[in-house]
Amino acid sequence: MKLWRLVRILWVIARFRLDGLVPVERLPASARFVFRLMPLWLFPRGSESRGARLRLALETLGPIYVKFGQMLSTRRDLLPPDIALELKKLQDQVPPFPSELARATVESELGASVETLFAKFDPTPLASASIAQVHAATLHDGAEVVVKIIRPGIDRVMRSDIDLMFTFARLLMLVPEMRRLRPVEVVDDYRASLFDELDLHKEAANTSQLKRNFKHSPLLYVPAIHWSMTRRSVMVQERIYGIPVADVEALREAGVDLRKLAERGVEIFFTQVFRDNFFHADMHPGNIFVSRETPEDPRYIAIDCGIVGSLTREDQDYLARNILAFFHQDYYEVATLHIESGWVGEGTRANEFAAAVRAVCEPLLEKPLKDISFGQALLGLFQTAQRFNMEVQPQLVLLQKTLLNIEGLGRTLYPELDLWHTAKPYLENWMKERAGPRGFWESLKRQAPDLAYRLPELPVLAHQVMRRSEAEERQRRQQSETMGTLQRSLRGFRRRSRQVRAGLLLVAGAVFWQPLWGWASQQHWGVLVASGVGLLLILWR
């Protein structure tokens, strides 16, 4: 199966002539030679543009590759315009599956006919994505909803692709320089997030959590879930009417303040990561809309919460302190934090790593703030850290991807967006609250129930600790006595061994005294001295 899938991938690359995307002139001479030997010229290029060929190839390969294209489509500042424009179509224009299959899935999951469940069900999908598609419907009480339906059989294709990715990851592990990237762990983390999207129960739970986090917030609205009509492969959700965030012309016509909209996107991201520790990790433009109400005070609408992320408190602290250190150009602090967190090798010297970080960041900070890309700075730092054995942190992969998506989206809305200036006040306030009296009080309140529960057990726990300490002390004494006995036995054995060797030499000398005496009387004094030294070495070695 894996071999067949690999053959199919190579076939798709040849069929859509994706070799046209490779800058052959920049490859090493040996790679150029191999590349030109490939018989790709046998396949016609066709009339489609290179961007269209790439989009069609990703659609042909399946959902994992479509997801990759969606991620690329948000980086308009890093892609040629023609390719970015084509990949944008992957966000909600993936070819749909037949409406008959959609109806059958709904009826099978919910246990009733579509006519019984809905007053109206539109067989033409509103949108079609890589893993699911959405149909408009109306409930019998008049509420307008959307019905999200998982593509039938999609799990088999995804398992095949993930198995192939694991194979490539294990091959990379054979290369010592690639082990620090931890490719198997990264693929495993990606697998978990992708397969979470196949369970709409999880997406519904994530949506409800995000809605609670931003309840009554002017920044973000999350549509409600109809839990009674939600199953593993079907989810019914409140229908929203908003402007797609990527439709900049429509936003301008509606009078939306694009600068405020871009800055609010950054604020939403940092609020999710640091205040809530629960962030939407699939924020490509197909999942983000803008409310038509109050355009001068714009509000985002988020859908498709299938992939979410969270960090440990330690990772939150290290990440915030790292970003603030960048803002303050304190590169030694950045180096120290990387070493303390274990993100670089233990033997790394802080001053050397700080010098490398300075070489990456200082040229960026010399530019006007509007020209600085935090995403590019982040990627440059990772590339520089390779020689310090920096390992990929799987728990940060989703966060890095989301941050790049947010920056790309923000610069599309408002090219003058200053991500650093927008984020700095928020992070500084968060750190003050976390480390200040308020943070201490909040931490105390969180731990108070557990402390109150364990307080009556403290005498018992203290007694157990003392008994454990006494037992460990007795064990150490016993180990010390045992080691002493072994050492004495070993010394006695060596002494007896020397005595046995001396006795054997004396017996052998007595038995062979006459022949040896005759032999010795005929030898030069140097031979006799050498023989004597050899006997001493045998006796005392």
Residues that are catalytic = 282
Backbone angles phi, psi at 307, to 5 degrees: -115, 115
Strand partners, 121: 137
Q: Please answer whether residues 390 and 180 qualify as being in contact, where contact means their C-beta atoms are separated by less than 8 angstroms.
A: yes
Q: How far is CA 326 from CA 314, 358, 362, 390, in A?
A: 18, 10, 10, 18
Residue 180 CB burial class (10 angstroms; 0-12, 13-18, ≥19): middle
Q: Are strands 279-280 and 220-221 parallel, antiparallel or unpaired?
A: unpaired
Q: Are strands 220-221 and 300-302 parallel, antiparallel or unpaired?
A: parallel
Residue 190 to residue 180: CA distance in whole angstroms? 17
Residue 455 to residue 476: CA distance in whole angstroms? 31
Q: For residue 170, count other CB atoms closer than 10 A to its CB.
A: 12
The residue assigned the tokens 């982040």 is: 378
Q: Please answer whether residues 311 and 319 qualify as being in contact, where contact means their C-beta atoms are separated by less than 8 angstroms.
A: yes
The residue assigned the tokens 């403290």 is: 458
What's the half-sphere exposure (Cβ side, CA atoms, 13 Å) at 181? 16
Q: Please answer whether residues 180 and 391 qualify as being in contact, where contact means their C-beta atoms are separated by less than 8 angstroms.
A: yes
Residue 158, both tokens: 């995804």
DSSP letter at 415? T
Residue 93 CB burial class (10 angstroms; 0-12, 13-18, ≥19): middle
Residue 518 to residue 520: CA distance in whole angstroms? 6
Residue 403, both tokens: 């941050």
Task: State which amino acid sits at residue 214.
Answer: F
Contacts of 507 (CB under 8 A, 6+ apart): none
Helix segments in 2-136, DSSP class H: 2-15, 29-37, 50-61, 63-73, 81-87, 99-110, 114-117
